[in-house]
């Protein structure tokens, strides 16, 4: 059995608390969730930030949480989110053994080349849109006659609602729902929408980001599989 490698500590207790909360929320949606961890620049040089990527299946988006490190680190691995959560003690953690990641772990947004997309509403307006969409889903679900109250019909209603674009920006409402559910879309938090080559859109807040990728001319339909290097 290989000896666990202890990572450098996170910068402070707040970084540890935020990372713990992010992992717990991912596990709420998928008890077998994996996360890809990246630190260091494209050239392999250590960097003082750890990027944690996860994919909550309910939303079909890529969630990204960045944590500051106390010392620079070079790392690229995929591990169990549950094991990582269990190993966080104070501001440090011992890396779990790598796992064979699901296909999405090879589909990461580019590190550079992002530009701002105008027209994104503020955090309060987007939170209200999510609340209205949840209420609409419940109303339409309750209105279904007994013979149509099936999983397929509920899924159809959900896809119709959550695939709607936000203010004509191209961002699907499900990405905003994910940001809200994962604790990224907090009241008063600055928000921005970015785009990058490869048909990526990224909803960025100071607490984390949600990324989605277009799958052809039909619009944003979630992540497609394009391999990238993984350690």
Pick from 25-39, 122-136, 139-153, 217-231: least confident:
217-231
Is 85 within the bounds of a domain? yes
- For the chain, the domain total comes to 2
- pLDDT tens for 87-99 read 999 999 989 999 9
The pTM score is 0.87
* Burial environment of residue 226 by CB neighbours within 10 A (0 to 12, 13 to 18, 19 or more): exposed
**Mean pLDDT within 198-213:** 95
- Please tell me whether residues 150 and 98 are part of one structural domain: no
- The predicted pLDDT at position 2 comes to 44
**Mean pLDDT within 36-50:** 88
Query: Among 78, 106, 134, where does a domain finish?
Result: 106
Using a pLDDT cut of 90, give the percent of the chain over it. 77
Does the structure show a pLDDT above 70 at 218?
no
Contact (Cβ atoms closer than 8 angstroms) between residue 161 and residue 137: yes
- Please tell me whether residues 130 and 44 are part of one structural domain: no
- Please tell me whether residues 97 and 120 are part of one structural domain: no
- Please tell me whether residues 97 and 136 are part of one structural domain: no
Contact (Cβ atoms closer than 8 angstroms) between residue 178 and residue 61: yes
CA pair distance 54, 84, nearest whole angstrom? 13
Ordered strands of the 62-73 beta sheet = 75-80, 34-39, 47-54, 62-73, 208-213, 200-205, 191-196, 115-116
**Mean pLDDT within 16-29:** 96
- The predicted pLDDT at position 200 comes to 96
- Please tell me whether residues 48 and 124 are part of one structural domain: no
More confident residue, 6 or 12: 12
Q: Which two tokens stand for residue 131?
A: 């609340």
CA pair distance 189, 204, nearest whole angstrom? 10
- pLDDT tens for 65-86 read 999 999 998 999 999 999 999 9
- Please tell me whether residues 55 and 124 are part of one structural domain: no
- The predicted pLDDT at position 7 comes to 63
Q: Do the bridges between strand 47-54 and strand 191-196 make them parallel or antiparallel, or are there none, so unpaired? A: unpaired
Using a pLDDT cut of 70, give the percent of the chain over it. 89
Does the structure show a pLDDT above 70 at 8?
no
- The predicted pLDDT at position 58 comes to 87
- Domain limits for position 83: 13-106
Is 59 within the bounds of a domain? yes
């Amino acid at each position: 059995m290989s000896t666990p490698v202890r990572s450098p500590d996170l910068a402070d207790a707040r970084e540890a608390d935020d990372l713990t909360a992010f992992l717990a929320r991912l596990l709420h949606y998928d008890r077998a969730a994996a996360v890809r961890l990246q630190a260091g620049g494209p050239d392999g040089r250590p960097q003082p930030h750890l990027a944690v990527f996860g994919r909550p299946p309910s939303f079909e988006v890529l969630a990204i949480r960045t944590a500051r490190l106390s010392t620079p680190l070079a790392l690229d691995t995929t591990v169990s989110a549950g094991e990582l959560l269990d190993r966080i003690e104070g501001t440090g953690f011992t890396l779990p053994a790598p796992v064979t990641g699901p296909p999405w772990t090879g589909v990461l947004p580019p590190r550079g080349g992002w530009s701002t997309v105008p027209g994104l509403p503020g955090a309060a307006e987007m939170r209200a849109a999510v609340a209205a969409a949840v209420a609409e889903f419940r109303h339409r679900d309750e209105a279904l006659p007994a013979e149509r109250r099936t999983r397929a019909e509920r899924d159809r209603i959900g896809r119709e609602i959550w695939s709607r674009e936000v203010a004509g920006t191209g961002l699907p409402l499900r990405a905003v729902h994910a940001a809200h559910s994962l604790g990224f879309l907090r009241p008063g938090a600055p928000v921005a929408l970015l785009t990058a080559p490869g048909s990526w859109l990224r909803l960025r807040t100071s607490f984390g980001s949600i990324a989605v990728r277009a799958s052809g001319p039909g619009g944003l339909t979630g992540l497609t599989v394009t391999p990238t290097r993984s350690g």
